[in-house]
Amino acid sequence: MKILFSKYFPIKGYIAINIFGILIVRKDYKRRFQNIDDPWVVNLINHEAIHTGQIKECGYESYYPLYILFWIIRLITPPYKSSYRDISYGNIILAILINVKDTLGLLECLRVL
Beta strands (DSSP E) in the chain are 2-6, 16-19, 22-26
Of residues 58 and 83, the one with the higher pLDDT is 58
The pLDDT score that the predictor gives to residue 72 is 81
Q: How many whole angstroms separate alpha carbon 8 and alpha carbon 31? A: 16
| Higher-pLDDT residue of 58, 34 | 34
Q: What is the pLDDT of the chain when averaged over all its residues?
A: 77
Q: pTM score, two decimals?
A: 0.66
